[in-house]
Each structure stands twice: as C-alpha cells, then as structure tokens.
Structure 1
Amino acid sequence: MVKIPAFEVEQWMDAYENTPGVLNIAETCASSISISQLAELHGNGENGSAPPIVDFSRPMTYGAIRGSDELRRNIAALYSDESRAGDTDDLSREDIIVTQGAIAANHLVFYALIGPGDHVVCVFPTYQQLYTIPETLGAEVSLWKLRAEDQYVPDVAELEKLIKRNTKMIVINNPNNPTGATAPKAVLAKVIEIARKHDLIVFSDEVYRPLFHGLAESEIPPSALSLGYQKAVVTSSMSKAWALAGIRIGWAASRDRDIIEQLAVARDYTTISVSQLDDQVARFALSAAVRPALLGRNIALARTNLALLEKFVQDHADACSWVKPTAGTTALVRFSRKDGQPVDDEAFCKDVLDKTKVMFLPAGRCFGHGNAFQGYVRIGYVSETHVLRKALDNLSVYIAENLN
C-alpha cells in the first residue's frame, strides 16, 4: 500500500474551520459568491450576453467527458489575449481538460506524467500536494526554496543547480501560496529556458491567477502557457480568484497534445466527467458577459482587505513582520515575542483561536517540511471585509495582552 502523509493544511482546516463563532481568516478563496449574486453580475453591451446559469431542460447524463465545449472555450479565452501579444497561437478547447477542482488537476498531472526513478524540482514553500504526491508516486523531489530577502521570488541560479540527470519536471506555483508573491516574466522566461535546455516538463499551478491586485498592468506576468514552450502544463480552478469553490471545477491545460492525451487516459480511471450543473455555472461565470465583473469584484475586495492587513502589520511592527503580497489571497506573517524569538506557531494558532475565535494556519506545521517557517502563520485575507476587520481587532487585543 502507498503510504500517504497527512495533508497538513486540509487536516487543520477540517479540524477548526467549523468552530462555533469562528472568524475564519485561514480560507484561501476570495469571499465566496452565491449563485444569486453571480446572476446579478451578468452584463450586456460590448461584452455580449451570457446564456442562463443552468439549463434545466438538459437531461442529466454524464455530459461531455472532457468538459463542455462552451466551458473549455471560455477557459481558453483566459489565455487568448496573452497569446496574441506573444509568439504563441490561441489556446483551443482541445488543449483543456476540466476536472473536479485544481486539486484533482494537480493530482492528475503527477499521476499521468511522473513515476519511480523520476526527479522533480518543486518550488517551496507551496501547497503540500505539489511535492508530496510525486514523492508518493516514487519520484525523488528537490525543493527549490524561496527566501524572504528575495521577496519570495525564485532564484533561477539555484534552479540550475538542482537539475539532475533524471529530472523530468519543474513545478512552480504562480502566484505563490502561501506567500502571495509573484514570479515576474523575466524569471518565468529563465525557467522555460532551463526546461528547454534539459527537455523538461514545466508544471505551473496557477490557481490564484489572475488575481494580481498589487501589480501595475505592465508588471503582470503571463501564464506559463504563453511563453512559447510546448512542454508546459498549467492547472487552475474556479475556487480562488473566481470565488466559486463550491462548484468544484478546475482544469489542466497544455499546448502539447501528447500531454493532454496522457492526462485523458489517466483520468478515465478517476473521473468520468464533472457534474453538468457545475460545468454550466462555471461556463456562465467565465463568459465574456460575466467574467470582467466577477474578477473586478474580487480584485477590489483583495485591495481593500490587503490595506487593512498592511495597517495591522505596521501597527504591530514589534510583534509581526511580512513580505507584502502582490497577488492571490494569502500572506505569510511572522509573529514574535518581546525578545524577538518567534512564537510556537502551532500553539499560537490554537491559543488565538481559543481566546479570540480568530482562525489562521501555522506555517511551520502546514508548510514547514522540517523546521522551516517556525513562528509564521498563513492568513487568507480576501474574506468578507467585516470578518477580516473584526479578526484583526481581536488579534490586536490578543497581542497587547500576550506578546507585549
């Protein structure tokens, strides 16, 4: 039997997110939107008109195995503007497979493409799945470590040193979870250059894309799909940037049809299709008539809430520090005592929850992979603004009473 380590982030969320009265600032999705609210975002005019959210006349068969044509075309449109600006062709619906969330897409990429004897280089810290799953499949994994002094931007010179004879894949996460940092286009281009040199697959988890709320438009990096490298595969979902985690829709995309076919073959053993109802809701949300308003809502929320969190960090500079996020929904914040020593992040999170009802994640446990990130917590700040404000107010009282 394959030994699978505990998925620490998911274990923590499952244990504490339903605490009565909880102020949940551990959640990493933009504040979830209801179907009724989604319908209100529907626009007309130059963006066109979207079909009804759900067609109740459709028989509830398995539906389209790889995802409906409409949904896959709308997903492809997310990458099309970048393609026209570069040296790549528009993405086609044939380049996309719809999955049950990005978590299923990520698993599928590893399950189809990685096995015993392979070597994988994975950026770190990141979502535990991205390095644990290849390990459980028998691959060797080297962690490509991000550093606060580099603003958590990957050092490509270190990547070159990690490549081995049996390296098959480079795994990146852009924007990054848990730091909220963004790897710029120049860094991504160098990653592609190294991958091309060694004939490696580049797997980019882009689940927080396109929630770039802290960058000028000229600074927003392209998707890994848009850099002219055939052996790039990306994953994403409706959960984080699109505020629709409950429909459990994600996808994998690649311009390499061989990769797509390998994913399709592997997928036959795990999922016949996604729910037709979920597919239709995602299709509606990503339509030209709805997508701009939905993304605008989430970017505005992220900017408002990040300003609140930034003020909190500044007001408590003697107790906490960070690298301010530029994208996504998460921030990595270090808490310390008067003597400068980091808190025991796990005990700290439990005590804060018990005394204030504020919930966040201990990064040392959930992202540590050893002793890294002791004293750090991950905060998901794109919750409802009133929840974040109340949580930070409670946390301010806690700091005054316990850390000063």
Structure 2
Amino acid sequence: MKGTFFRNGAIIIEIAKFGVEEWLNKWEKEARFDISQSSVAALTLRELTALGGTTTAAFFEKLNSRKMDYGWIEGSPAFKNLVAELYQNVTAENILQTNGSTGANMLVLYALLHPGDHVVAPFPTYQQLYDIPRSLGAHVDFIHLEEDANWQLDVDRLAAIVTPKTKMICLNNANNPTGTLLERTALEQVVAVARAVDAYVVVDEVYSPLAGSSDFVSIADIYEKGIATNSLSKTYSLPGLRIGWVASPNDEIINLFRKYRDYTLISSGVLDNELAVLALSNREKILQRNREIVSENLEIVKHWIEKEPRVELVLPNYVPTSFIKLTIPEDDYSFCASLLKDTGVLLVPGSAFGVPQHARLGYCCNKEILKQGLSLLTRYLRKFDI
C-alpha cells in the first residue's frame, strides 16, 4: 500500500501534504494583494479591546497580576458559558477549548478513529477532515460535490455509500473552499442516514453564515452523536488567537475527548482565553461588522464576475470563502504562481483542494485590496484573449 510501512509490527500510514497550507506557507508573505484567505478581515488588538469599551493598555493592565500558569485547562467558566450560548442543546460542561478548529478536529478524529474504521466525507472539503482519518488507518469514501449542482451534498449518494460499518461522517458546513451551505433540512437527512447505522457526524462549523436567510443549524443541536467544532478564526476575525472548541450534547463523547485532550493540548493559555472571552462577550458587535464586510464585498465580487468571461462562480452563502472556476489554457497551479510573481495577487490554486482549474478567492479582505486584486486579476486574464 502506497505511503504505508511497518514499525515494530504496527501499521504506520504516511500523511499527505496539506495542499492549501503548503501553498500559503510558501507564498502568502510575498503577496501585495492577498485575496486568498478564508477569514473575514482580521481585527487588530486595538479594535478588539475597544469593543469592550477599553484600551489595549487598560485591558492588559488588569492582567498584570495574573500568573502565567496553565490557566483553565478546558477553558475558563466564562468562556465555556459564552460558547454554550451559541447552541440550543449543549451545556457549558460539554464545551472543550482547543487550539483553533484544527486542534478541535484533530482531537475528535484522534479520539474516535481506529485502523479499519469507515469514514465518509464530501470532496472537496477541508483536507484535514479526510487525510487525518486516512493517516490513522481509516478507510475514507468520498461523496463528490458537483459544481453543476451548486456544490451541494447529495444525501442519496451519501446513503448509498454509508454502510452498517460506517463509523463517522465528516462534513464542513459551510464548505471550504466552495462557501456553500448544507441547510437544516439536508443536515437532518444526513442525521437520519447516520442514526440508522449509529455513526458519528462531525461537522467543522467554522464557516457558519453571517447573513442571508439560510437555515443554518449546528449538528450538536440536532443529533445525539453530533460533534461540532468551531473557532474564533473565520466568522469572528481572530485567527491569531488560536482559540477553538468542541461541542456535543453527548456526555460520553465529551468525556472521551477529555482523556485524549490531556495528551494533545493541556490548555490554550491565560492570555488567549481572556481575549476569547472579550471577543465572545462582544460577539454581536463583531458579527455586525463582519456582516457588512461579507455583504458589501460579495456585491463587488458579483459585479466583477458578471464582467469577467474567464471566471465562473457558485456564489458563497455569506461566508468568507469562495471557489472560482478559471477558463484558461494553462494549469491553475502555474497560473496562480505566475499571477503572484507578476502582479502581487495571491489566490489558492484549486489543485491544492484536488480540484484543478479553480481557485479559492478570499473576498472578505480589506475592500480596497479586494478591488485592486480583482482589477489586476482581470488584466492578467486578458493575456489569454490574444
């Protein structure tokens, strides 16, 4: 088996390179017009503390006597209570703080999956949700999302792939990179499929929608074996805090995570926890800011798409990631590399998600950066018209 070897009698599976992270690690610091990211424009520390009615200096002055010990291992009571308010059926006791949503996903997958387990995931999706399972020895089957079907999950296909041996269904809602949403009715259908075979449903909900009339619901609120992961990175514009969480209504599942969490995290740190509490205490102010950014910037993208013959887009559902289709006579990876070199504009090639001739467009950056980036991208695409 490719990528598989043995050590002391145990099967070790070599993990694949993480396409999107490898690309960004290499190129993002060279960008002058970064329209690749999947967060809403990050808040500054000054902006965050101002939301709480104080200055950065005054905020940290209050923390001067705080010991830099491990702090609250699972997150402070204030943090857990504030996160629990985001759910209908999850108590504060069943919230575990993690190192971002990537840490939350890793904890869940590490705790629940074993060699030989069967996992079902959509494709494309966030690579961690299928390559971590494969690295743990699980067998992963994909439900391929079709662009012609607006990248929507086909629940009938899901039902056809799931078997009595299926251990877990892994989803990303809204989807990264496409930005499309699995609404409540469809998610309830997923739950029915999972319940029939007693499978877990894990949903990375870091892209919960910011606007629109979409009927979003957390998996943790509708399924007894539902596990939601989330963070402050995307919807809350604070990727630098590296604070996320796991939520589930199931006490047994959360207690299992506690055991594995002790091996992987211990705590997220005193300062990050306090800043997370500040952000969550002022979440409506952050969400209002971000609704405006998403709505206004999406209009810019819509107008650009209407006038750009070499680009198509299934519109994202008011989340900060989108996935454009490129009609160009060269491969997307080479195109994105030369685009950056020649113009300073950064996209993530679709090949990083396993979908060639596409690119992730992160449109929720600074508005002027977006406008300039799209203008330069248009000019660069015109070279193919000659």
Instruction: Please confirm whether the aligned pair reaches a TM-score higher than 0.5, indicating the same fold.
Output: yes
Q: Structure 1 stretches (4+) deviating beyond 4 angstroms?
A: 51-54
1:137 and 1:295 mapped to 2: Cα distance?
37
2:180 and 2:318 mapped to 1: Cα distance?
6
> Does 2:215 correspond to 1:223?
no
Aligned to 1:71: 79
Equivalent runs, 1:314-393 vs 2, <5 Å: 314-316=306-308, 318-337=309-328, 343-364=330-351, 366-368=352-354, 373-393=355-375
> Does 2:42 correspond to 1:36?
no
* Structure 2, unpaired ranges of 5+: 1-11
1:100 and 1:9 mapped to 2: Cα distance?
19
2:35 and 2:255 mapped to 1: Cα distance?
39
Aligned to 1:150: 149
CA contact (8 A) 2:210 2:294 kept: no
Equivalent runs, 1:2-401 vs 2, <5 Å: 2-19=13-30, 22-42=32-52, 55-79=63-87, 83=88, 89=89, 91-209=90-208, 211-213=209-211, 215-216=212-213, 219-227=214-222, 229-287=223-281, 290-316=282-308, 318-337=309-328, 343-364=330-351, 366-368=352-354, 373-401=355-383
1:56 and 1:126 mapped to 2: Cα distance?
42
| 1:306 partner letter | L
Offset at residue 148 of structure 1 (A): 1.5
Structure 2 length as normaliser, TM-score? 0.93
CA contact (8 A) 2:39 2:321 kept: no
Encode CA deviations 1:347-398: one digit per residue, 9 max, x unaligned.
110111111110011112x111xxxx22101111111111111101111111
1:344 and 1:133 mapped to 2: Cα distance?
27
CA contact (8 A) 1:205 1:235 kept: yes
1:403 and 1:243 mapped to 2: Cα distance?
38
SS of aligned partner of 2:121: strand
Question: Which range is displaced more, 143-152 or 3-12?
Answer: 143-152
Encode CA deviations 1:181-229: one digit per residue, 9 max, x unaligned.
01111100100111111111010000112x333x22xx331111121x2
Offset at residue 335 of structure 1 (A): 1.0
The 1:149–1:212 alpha-carbon spacing in structure 2 relative to 1, beyond 3 Å, is farther
Encode CA deviations 1:212-250: one digit per residue, 9 max, x unaligned.
33x22xx331111121x2100010011111011111101
2:170 and 2:380 mapped to 1: Cα distance?
38
Question: Which range is displaced more, 56-65 or 233-242?
Answer: 56-65
CA contact (8 A) 1:285 1:291 kept: yes
CA contact (8 A) 1:99 1:249 kept: yes
Question: Which range is displaced more, 160-169 or 234-243?
Answer: 160-169
CA contact (8 A) 1:208 1:327 kept: no
Encode CA deviations 1:295-331: one digit per residue, 9 max, x unaligned.
1111110111111111111111x21111011132111
2:221 and 2:255 mapped to 1: Cα distance?
20
2:380 and 2:28 mapped to 1: Cα distance?
20
Aligned residues: 371
CA contact (8 A) 1:336 1:403 kept: no
Offset at residue 124 of structure 1 (A): 1.4
Offset at residue 164 of structure 1 (A): 2.2
1:327 and 1:144 mapped to 2: Cα distance?
24
2:367 and 2:59 mapped to 1: Cα distance?
30
| 1:38 partner letter | L
CA contact (8 A) 1:67 1:98 kept: yes
1:62 and 1:115 mapped to 2: Cα distance?
30
SS of aligned partner of 1:18: helix
C-alpha RMSD over aligned residues: 1.6
